[in-house]
Amino acid sequence: MAKIKVLFVCLGNICRSPLAEAIFKHKVKERGLEHQIEADSCGTSNYHIGDNPDPRTIANAKKNGVSINHCGRQLSVEDIESFDYILAMDSSNFSNIHRLLKDEKHKPKIQMMRDYDPQGKGDVPDPYYGGEKGFQEVFDILDRTMDRFLDKLAEGL
Ligand code: 4NP
């Protein structure tokens, strides 16, 4: 059976979406689902193509026991065709993803990450211009949201 392909999307692809990818992969591995599910991340902008995740994201992930390894890249039209789930970190990312939508049949794939947050919908806040507290807040949101999203994926396996 083909693997389920999940793409996490933010603006720069150095803070939120690479962390989402890392937390998700960590949980996929814990559940022994790595042969059934794969993941990647990207940004809607071209600001950080080829860059490592932000050092503050790397430090925060490490503090929380998650290793992170990603090279920044920009979202493409092909991504929208080839991934099964395209999860936007915030509403601005969500509308930018739709600009690359060429075929309406792919529209249901594009969702807000926090539609899966058991504590309520909304944006994953951009931590780029803030301090460590913001990075931990992003980690906590993604950690609980990913459990629920994975529960949903696992139901269909
Ligand atoms: P991200 O955060 O979208 O979570 O990766 C940002 C990273 C970089 C910038 C903005 C947000 N920037 O303006 O360079």
Please report, for the chain, the start and end positions of each structural domain, with discontinuous segments joined by +.
4-155
**Residues contacting residue 25 through CB under 8 Å, at least 6 positions apart:** 34, 39
Pocket test for ligand 1, best of 15, 60, 93 (most atoms within 8 A of CB): 15
pLDDT digits (tens, 9 = 90+) for 61-112: 999 999 999 999 999 999 999 999 999 999 999 999 999 999 999 999 999 9
How many whole angstroms from 86 Cα to the centroid of ligand 1? 18
99 is catalytic: no
Q: Whose CA is nearest to atom 8 of ligand 1?
A: 12
How many whole angstroms from 16 Cα to the centroid of ligand 1? 8
| Separation in Å, CA 48 to CA 12, 40, 71, 73 | 6, 16, 9, 7
DSSP bridge partners of 112: 88
* Global confidence as pTM: 0.98
| pLDDT at res. 38 | 98
How many whole angstroms from 103 Cα to the centroid of ligand 1? 28
- Whether 1 shows a pLDDT value over 90: the answer reads no
Q: How confident is the model at residue 3 (pLDDT cuts 50, 70, 90)?
A: very high
Closest atom, ligand 1, to C-alpha of 11: 3
90 is catalytic: no
Percent of the chain with pLDDT over 70: 100
Query: Are residues 77 and 102 in contact, defined by beta-carbon separation less than 8 angstroms?
Result: yes
Q: How confident is the model at residue 139 (pLDDT cuts 50, 70, 90)?
A: very high
**Mean per-residue pLDDT of the chain:** 97
16 is catalytic: yes
Residue 85 backbone dihedrals phi, psi, to 5 degrees? -130, 130
Q: Whose CA is nearest to atom 10 of ligand 1?
A: 12
Q: How confident is the model at residue 44 (pLDDT cuts 50, 70, 90)?
A: very high
User: Distance between CA atoms of 16 and 85, rounded to whole angstroms?
Assistant: 17
User: Distance between CA atoms of 70 and 81, rounded to whole angstroms?
Assistant: 22
Q: Which CATH class is domain 4-155?
A: alpha beta
